[in-house]
Amino acid sequence: MRILYASTAMVVLSAQAVAQTPLKTLPYPQTKKVDTVTTYFGTKVADPYRWLENDQAADTKSWVQEENKVTQHYLAQIPFRETIRKRLETLWNYEKYGAPYKEGKYTYFTKNTGLQSQSVLYRQLGNGAPEVFLDPNSFSKDGTTSLAGINFTKDGSLAAYQISEGGSDWRKVIVMRAADKTIVGDTLKDVKFSGLAWKGNDGFYYSSYDKPLAGSQLAGKTQIHKLYYHKLGTKQSTDKLVFGGEKTPRRYIGASLTEDERFLVISGANTTTGNELYIQDLSKANSPIVQVVDNEKNEVSVLDNVGSKLYIQTNLNAPNGKVVTVDAANPKSANWKDLIPESKNVLNATTGGGKIFANYLKDATSLIEQYAMSGKKERSIALPSVGSAGGFGTKKEEKETYYTFTSYIYPPTIFKYDIATGKSTVYKKAGVQFDPTQYESKQVFYTSKDGTRIPMIITHKKGLVMNGKNPTMMYAYGGFNSSVTPGFSTSTIVLLENGGIYAVPNLRGGGEYGEKWHLAGTKLQKQNVFDDYIAAAEYLVKNNYTSKYYLAISGGSNGGLLVGATMAQRPEMFKVAFPAVGVMDMLRYNQFTAGAGWAYDYGTAQDSKEMFEYLYKYSPYHALKPANYPATMVTTADHDDRVVPAHSFKFASKLQESQQGSAPVLIRVETKAGHGAGRSTAQVISEQADKWSFMFQNMNLTPYQAN
């Protein structure tokens, strides 16, 4: 086999079957079963693998070690695994920049030289030489402690930054002086799901939960969020409770200050969709916290203010979103005035340079318009092509802002945008070894089971023969009002340059077409999401892009649920499946960490007999029956305290028990890693190499095979 590394113009055969020696799979661990039964509305539900929920127990740890041994033994036999890993390492090895932003007199930006474990935060004074401001690679020897956010005071003299250890959502907060990088005060501990909002240079607001009891830090429920104020130079134990707690219990509380620091803005919610809104006028001593919106049915946030005039983005009575204004003295929704009315496209607005930037989603791609604060449209911003643009946020006094544009075949490029003229210029272009002219990415529309029209973007090499034999990866999410927009993936190059196809359908449950689209994939409509995904697979096969012998499916978190449920319902449709950090036990997901907050999308088994029966039917863990399932590699991590690894542990055990065919069922458990964010570059490359190797092996294909 000849390896072609010369350039991104490498020509590789469209996937052709190559005879391979079947790999030997070690016997799966003899996973014990326990007599655990829970009764829901008169129905007894067995849960034989519930003991795996105790991720700290010795027998669970032993099971993980044995399963990882099976997985690594299998992967080690794949002859081209190292070829793929080296190719990924080569592809990853280019400078990566984050969009710059101003804090005080400095411009800050992130940079990774290529293969650094974590990106480094730099700063630059004018046109002077950049200097390292904060290097997360120094946080830990193995690169698994990451920078999870940083916030500066308005004058840029102080910075508070969060660190995540091993990918956990639990964070530490450290304060430093920007001038000399010296640490100020004590490190705050046990902070979770929090922003940091500075009030002058005196202190900042942050949110957290009471830490679960020892031994249950990962899986323990986190129900009551609390907003605190930390005054610099004081102990965390003396921090003042501002909102939340037992008197006003909310599962999620966020806080921010308007740029002039006049208003404290508080968001309170019990689910991941919708929120209450409160404001406090900090310019007046002892001013009360005033409620603006008193229900959690809609999304509402404060964009900006001019004096007492608030600019609010909301989907209240506007499922696709709009911008309204109101006087802070009487901020109830009855007094709102439309500034940027709802349109047929979904709105996400930002502000900067005294302007409002309306970032619309048009069929899951970006359309950007600039407005004056008066609501007058000034221009549509020309983008390089059809794709995703993000950024456009900066301070009021700035004359320019930055945005990043990308698509499935357009590597992330940072543009500098002149706010007065509307001119965009390239600031930093990605140096990845990829030639976009060799590939095409097109949007198609297909019909789901109930007749709904669903968009899907399909990407592949130009001139690819549609003979039903192309290795295809279909990725989707479909939930929580989250929109999947076009974005470049260095990892996906491995698929594309080997004659593969990358397909991304925009399923219901997401936010691509507003709140109505989201609701159509929630609770008793959740099956729509799975039907949309199945219909996408049927479209790809019908149109000869691929066939069931060359089709893989992938998704993470809620997308892991999607993969698990779909393969349980239609196991014959797919050759390979990658459910990652998935929500697999739909009857018990709300018993762990902040899982109860997902009930808006899912409903719970306790809600009603109807809701229980609906969840029980599609719950991946429970829906598995003896059948021929696709080759499956379940992935999770030992520090995932959002979707606890027990979901994946139980699903993998049941799948190994239920597999009637010869395809392998593996579980890959990453160590010192969480739900996904903050992983080291080495961890990411290793997992991606294993994923592509597993896929090609089980499609009986050899990548980088010479013509």
Nearest to 316 by CA among 288, 289, 341: 341
Q: Which of 52-61, 481-490, 522-531, 572-581 has the lowest average pLDDT? A: 52-61
Q: Give catalytic residue positions.
A: 557, 675
Could you give the percent of the chain with pLDDT greater than 70? 94
For residue 704, pLDDT beyond 60: yes
Q: What CA–CA distance (Å, rounded) separates 57 from 141?
A: 27
Token output for 199: 């009030």
This prediction's pTM: 0.92
How many CB atoms are located within 10 Å of the residue 379 CB? 11
For residue 706, pLDDT beyond 60: no
Place 671 in a pLDDT band, splitting at 50, 70 and 90: confident
At 474 the pLDDT is 98
Sign of the alpha-carbon torsion through 690, 692, 695, 698: negative
Given a contact cutoff of 8 angstroms between Cβ atoms, the answer to whether 201 and 216 are in contact is no
What is the number of H-type helices and E-type strands within the chain?
A: 11, 39
Nearest to 89 by CA among 692, 698, 686: 686
Q: Which residue has the higher pLDDT, 108 or 10?
A: 108
Q: What CA–CA distance (Å, rounded) separates 556 from 573?
A: 19
Q: b/e map of 223-246 (b: 16 or more CB within 10 Å)?
A: eebbbbbbeeeeebeebeebbbbe
Token output for 258: 């308007």
Q: Which residues, including other chains, have CB under 8 Å from residue 501's CB and lie 6 or more apart?
A: 458, 459, 460, 464, 470, 471, 472, 473, 495, 540, 545, 546
Q: What CA–CA distance (Å, rounded) separates 632 from 71?
A: 11
Q: What CA–CA distance (Å, rounded) separates 461 from 499?
A: 7
What mean pLDDT is predicted for residues 314-336? 97
Indicate the burial class of 599 (C-beta count within 10 angstroms; 0-12, 13-18, 19 or more).
buried
Mean pLDDT of the chain: 93
* DSSP label of 211: P
3-state class of 177 per DSSP?
Answer: strand
At 621 the pLDDT is 98
Q: Which of 203-217, 271-285, 587-601 has the lowest average pLDDT? A: 203-217
For residue 324, pLDDT beyond 80: yes
At 21 the pLDDT is 65
Bridge partners of 256, per DSSP, are 265
For residue 11, pLDDT beyond 50: no
Q: What is the DSSP string of 446-465?
A: EE-TTS-EEEEEEEEETT--
What mean pLDDT is predicted for residues 449-467? 98
Given a contact cutoff of 8 angstroms between Cβ atoms, the answer to whether 323 and 365 are in contact is no
Q: What CA–CA distance (Å, rounded) separates 71 from 667?
A: 7
What mean pLDDT is predicted for residues 422-427? 97
What mean pLDDT is predicted for residues 188-194? 93
Q: Which of 141-150, 212-221, 226-235, 657-666 has the lowest average pLDDT? A: 212-221
At 292 the pLDDT is 97
Q: What CA–CA distance (Å, rounded) separates 169 from 184?
A: 23
Q: Which residues, including other chains, have CB under 8 Å from residue 478's CB and lie 6 or more apart?
A: 507, 508, 509, 510, 521, 529, 532, 533, 558, 559, 562
pLDDT in tens, 491-548: 999 999 999 999 999 999 999 999 999 999 999 999 999 999 999 999 999 999 999 9
At 676 the pLDDT is 58
Sheet containing strand 276-281, edge to edge, reads 252-257, 263-269, 276-281, 289-293
Given a contact cutoff of 8 angstroms between Cβ atoms, the answer to whether 161 and 176 are in contact is yes
pLDDT in tens, 559-611: 999 999 999 999 999 999 999 999 999 999 999 887 888 999 999 999 999 99
